[in-house]
């Protein structure tokens, strides 16, 4: 059984719309899109004002570590138009972005990357919009 993840109601609405629009576009990796669709479908929806600060939401800045390489990374989960891997801005439509959304500090998540399965440990959340009273970004 998969671990239950949590996303805000606003993230759920925006991401559901994004998935619907992306399915109509060419050039979107369908496997990644379906992974995100699966994640948001199984997630527990939580009011933005009630979600715990230890959960990763859209626009969260998180510190993670690749279990195999022990390489730490600082990333921000963003919408596709804001993605820029050189700045650490990871699209929610990427394997890493969709894998992390809704999990919490201390969790280890696995996802399929182009070079095979990757395990990532969530070390800390540096910034979560909802924890800072920012509900509309």
The model carries a pTM of 0.89
How high is the pLDDT of residue 59? 97
Closest listed residue to residue 43, CA positions, set 35, 54, 32, 33? 35
Taken in order of first residue, the domains within the chain and their CATH numbers are 6-132 (3.10.50.30)
- Give tens-digit pLDDT for 64-122: 999 999 999 999 999 999 999 999 999 999 999 999 999 999 999 999 888 899 999 99
DSSP state, residue 131: G
Mean pLDDT of 35-41: 88
Rounded Cα gap, residues 125 and 137, in angstroms = 17
> For 131, what's the count of Cα atoms within 13 Å in the CB-facing half-sphere?
14
Looking up tokens 């805000």 gives 8
Rounded Cα gap, residues 78 and 88, in angstroms = 10
| Percent of the chain whose predicted confidence (pLDDT) is above 90 | 68
Q: What are the Cα distances from residue 131, in Å, to 49, 75, 119?
A: 8, 17, 26
């Amino acid at each position: 059984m998969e671990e239950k993840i949590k996303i805000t109601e606003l993230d759920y609405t925006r991401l559901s719309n994004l998935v619907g629009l992306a399915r109509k576009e060419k050039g979107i990796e369908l496997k990644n899109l379906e992974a995100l669709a699966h994640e948001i479908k199984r997630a527990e929806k939580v009011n933005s004002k009630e979600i715990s600060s230890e959960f990763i939401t859209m626009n969260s800045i998180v510190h993670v570590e690749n279990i195999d390489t022990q390489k730490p990374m600082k990333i921000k989960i963003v919408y596709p138009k804001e993605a820029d891997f050189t700045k650490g801005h990871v699209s929610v439509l990427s394997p890493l972005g969709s894998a992390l959304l809704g999990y919490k500090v201390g969790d280890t998540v696995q996802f399929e990357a182009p070079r095979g399965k990757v395990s990532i440990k969530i070390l800390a959340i540096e910034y979560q919009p909802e924890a800072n009273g920012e509900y509309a970004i």
